[in-house]
Structure 1
Amino acid sequence: MKCPEVNLLDHLRTKTQVDLDTFDIDAARELGGCIDCTSNQYEYYTELAKSSRKELLGRSIKLAASIHGQFPSVTFTELAVEIAAIYLAMELVPMVDGAMHVMANPRYSYSKQRIIETGKRLHHLCKVIEPSFNTSHLVMKVPATWEGLQACRELRYSNIKVLGTTLFTMEQAVLAGEVGCVSISPFVHELKALFDEHYEDSNPLLDICVQAQQWYTQQSLPTKVKACATVGVDELLQLAGVDALTIVPDDLRALKSINRSEIEVNELSLFGAALSFQEKLAYPSYKDDEAKYRLDFDHVDDGKAQFKLSQAITIFCDYQNKAECLVKAALTEDA
C-alpha cells in the first residue's frame, strides 16, 4: 500500500508557526497565511533600493526632518532608516496575523543604553506613523550580546517586547530567557553562508533549537524559539515542531510546491515522538553574573561562537550603512 503524501508547507504548518522573513510587500501578498513578519537591515536596504520605494524613502526623509530634534542622540540618516522600517512594517500589518519584527541598529549591539533608547524610539515612531497600531504587536530584534540582552531586561518593564537575535549558543539562549525576551532566533547557519554562495557552513546548529526549547519548557519560561538562517527544505523539515520558523520567500515557495511521503517527512523531525524532555539540562544563571557569562560564551566551540556573533553583527552593520547611503543619495538628488 502506497504511503500517503503530504504537501510540505501544509505539513509544516501543522507542527510549527510559520513566519515570513521579508518586508517585500509583493511576496507577502503572494505568500499569505504567515503569522509573524520579520526584518533586518538587509531587508531595509533591499526594499529602499527599489525604484518603487522612492516615494516611501522620500516620506521617511521628510518625517525625519520634522522630528529629528526630538532625538538628538541619533544621526539624521539613522532616524530616516528607522522611520522607513516602520513605514514598511505598517504596510505589511494587514497581511500577517501576529507581530511585526523590526531590528535595532546593529551598531548599538554593545551599548545597553542605546538599545534601550532605540526600543522606546521605535514605539514612539509607530504611534507617529500609525496612531491606531497596537504596539504590543511590535517586537524589536536585538543582537544577543551581553549588553543587548541586559537592555532587553530593562525594556520589558516598559512593556517593550524584544527578541534575541544572532544567537548561536545555549549560553545566549539561557540569558535571553532569564531577561525576559519573548523569543529568540537561533541562527542554524552562520550569516555569511546566506550571503556568500561560495562559503559553506558545514556545521548547522539544529540541536540548539531543540535544546533551547527543552530548556524553556523545563524552566517554565515563556520565551519562544523562532529558528532562522536555515538552508534548504530538509533543514526546515528537521525543525518541524520548533515553536516557530522564520522562512524566506523562496523556501516558502519550494515547500508549497513539493509533496512527500508522510512517513518520510515525520521521521525527519528532531522534535518527534522519540524526543524526551525528561533528561534535565543543566545551565547556571547568567543574568547577574557578567564574568561567568562572558567566560562560558567565549569558550563555546573554541571561540567560534563569538566569531559567528561578531561576523553577523558586522554583516548587518554593512547593510545599515548601505541603507543610510540611500538616504544620503536621496538628499543629494533633492538638493
Structure 2
Amino acid sequence: MQRETKDENIFRYSVLLEIVKPNRSAVLKRSLKLATTIHPQFATITLEELAVEVVGIELALEVIQTVHGNVHVMANPSYSYNTEAIVANAQRLHHICQIVDPDFDTSRLVTKVPATWEGMQVSRQLKQNGINTLATTIFSMEQAILAGEAGCISISPFVHELKTETYKGYKDTNPILGVCVQAQQFYHQNSLPTRVKACVTLNLDELIMLAGIDALTIAPKVLKVLISTERPKEEMESMSLFAKTTIVTEIVKYASYMDCESQYRVHFAASESGKAQFKTAQAISLFCDAQTAADLYITSQLEDSSYIPNNL
C-alpha cells in the first residue's frame, strides 16, 4: 500500500481552495493575465473557464518539483456526458501546459475524466493521441472494467460517496471496498496496466483493509491518524482484504463493455441496486458545483483591471 506521494492530484475542489488563499495571489494574478492573453486561441470557451484551467496547470507545475510521478488535472465536470467537449478540454490542458512550461514532459500530465460512458470513450480516443487519463467517480465494477478496456492508466474508486467529505454528518452505509479489490484482481488477471487508486476513505480501519492496493489518496485528517498509530503486522494482515485474496486463483469472468454501450448502460444502472449510478451522478454534481464556484470567483477577480495585461 502506498500513500499518494509519487503522484499529485489537482482537484476542482483544491483549485478553488487554493486560489482564495492570500499566499496564492501571485499564482492567481499570473494565471488570469495568461488566460486573458491566450483566450483568443480558445474562443470556444469563456475566459472564466479558461482561467480555471490555467490555474490548475499552474498549480500542477508548481508541485511537479516535489513529486516523482505524474500530476493530475481534472477535466471540467460540466462536460461529463459530452465526449467531444472532454476531448477538447484534455487537449486544451496539454496545450496550456506547453505554453506555461515548454520544457515540461506532458506525458506526466494525466487528465482526470469522469467514469461515464462518454468519459471512457474520451480515454479510448486520447490514448491513441498519447494523452493519459485517470477515470474518477468509480463506484462499480462495470465502470472499472470499462475504464481498463478504454486504456485509463489508473482509476479512482470512491470508497464512500463524495458527499461524505463535503457535508458534515452525512453517512454512506455502503462503502465499495470490495470493488477496489475486484478491480485490481481484474486488471492483474487480464494483464491490463491500469492501476487502482482508492480515495474517500474515512478512517484508519478502511486504510488497513485496503493494504495491498496499488495506491491510496488519503485525506489529511486520516493521514495524521495513520502516522501516529502502530498496529501489529499480524493484525493488519488479518484485516487486509487483499491479503485474503492472494490465495484465490479462480479467474472471474466479466462482460466486455467497450463496444457494447447498451449492455454497459443496463448493467451499470442495475449495479448495487442502482446505488452506483446514483453515487456517480451525485459526485459529478458536487464537482460541477465546485466548478461553478471557481468560475464565479474568477469572474469577480477579473473585474479588477490590474489583472489585464498592459498590451491589451
Give the TM interval when normalised to the shorter protein: over 0.9
Deviating more after overlay: 266-275 vs 91-100 = 266-275
Are residues 1:130 and 2:115 paired?
no
Q: Distance in 2 between matches of 1:209 and 1:39?
A: 22
1:301 match = 272
Determine the C-alpha separation between the residues in 1 that align with 2:208 and 2:31.
39
Please report how far the alpha carbon of residue 333 of structure 1 lies from its aligned counterpart in structure 2 after TM superposition: 3.2
2:240 aligned with 1:266: no
Counterpart amino acid of 1:279?
Answer: E
1:42 is matched with which residue: 6, 9, 13?
A: 13
Ranges of 4+ aligned residues in structure 1 off by more than 4 Å: none
Amino acid at match of 2:259: D
Measure, in 2, the Cα distance between the counterparts of 1:333 and 1:139. Answer: 32
Higher relative contact order (CA closer than 8 Å, sequence separation 6+): 1
- How far residue 219 of structure 1 moved from its aligned partner, in angstroms, is 0.9
Identify which of 20, 43, 64 aligns with 2:35: 64
| Aligned-residue offset at 1:46 | 0.5
Q: Deviations over 1:284-321 (max 9, x none)?
A: 11111111100110111222111111100000011111
Distance in 2, matches of 1:169 and 1:66, equals 42
Q: What is the deviation of 1:274? A: 5.0
> Once the 2 structures are TM-superposed, how far is the Cα of residue 250 of structure 1 from its aligned partner?
2.4
- Deviation by residue 1:250-308 (Cα, 9 ceiling, x = unmatched): 22222111122222122211111553341221211111111110011011122211111
Q: 2:134 aligns with which of 143, 163, 171?
A: 163
Corresponding position of 1:195:
166
User: Does residue 111 in structure 1 map to residue 111 in structure 2?
Assistant: no
CA distance in 1, matches of 2:48, 2:87: 19
Q: Which stretches in structure 1 are left out of the alignment for 5+ residues?
A: 1-15, 20-33
Amino acid of the structure 1 residue aligned with 2:285: T
Distance 1:277 1:74 in 2: 50
SS of the residue 1:141 aligns to: strand
Which residue does 1:248 correspond to in 2? 219
Equivalent residue in structure 1 for 2:71, among 90, 93, 100: 100
Deviation at 1:58, TM superposition (A): 1.3
1:228 counterpart (178, 199, 222): 199
- % same residue: 49
Q: Is it true that 1:208 corresponds to 2:193 in the alignment?
A: no
CA deviation vs aligned residue, 1:42-76 (integer Å, no higher than 9, x gap): 11111111122122111111101111111122111
Q: How many residues align?
A: 306
In structure 1, the residue matched to 2:285 is 314
Letter in 1 for 2:234: I
How far apart in 1 are the matches of 2:23 and 2:2?
31
Listed as ranges, the matches of 1:13-24 within 5 Å are 16-19=1-4
Q: Once the 2 structures are TM-superposed, how far is the Cα of residue 101 of structure 1 from its aligned partner? A: 0.7
Q: Specify the code of the residue in structure 2 equivalent to 1:334.
A: S
- Aligned AA (2:203): G
Contact 2:163 2:170 (8 Å CA) reproduced: yes
Instruction: Name the amino acid aligned to 2:111.
Output: M
Which residue in 1 is equivalent to 2:310? none
Counterpart of 2:196 in 1: which secondary structure?
Answer: strand
Farther-moved stretch of structure 1 (311-320 vs 281-290): 281-290
Deviations 1:76-105 (A, max 9, x none): 101000000011111101111111011000
CA contact (8 A) 2:159 2:176 kept: yes
What stretches of structure 2 of length at least 5 have no aligned partner? 307-312
Q: Which residue of 1 aligns with 2:309?
A: none
Conserved in 1, the CA contact under 8 Å of 2:10 and 2:59? no
- Check the 8 A contact 1:17/1:35 in 2, yes or no: no
Report the secondary structure of 2:17's partner residue: helix
| Inter-CA distance 82–269: structure 2 relative to 1 (3 Å threshold) | same
Cα root mean square deviation, aligned: 1.2
Per-residue Cα deviation, 1:154-202 (whole angstroms, up to 9, x for no partner) = 0001100000000000000001000100000111001111111211001
- Whole-angstrom distance in 2 between the partners of 1:60 and 1:274: 48
Cα distance in 1, alignment partners of residues 63 and 218 from structure 2: 16
Q: Distance in 2 between matches of 1:225 and 1:65?
A: 38
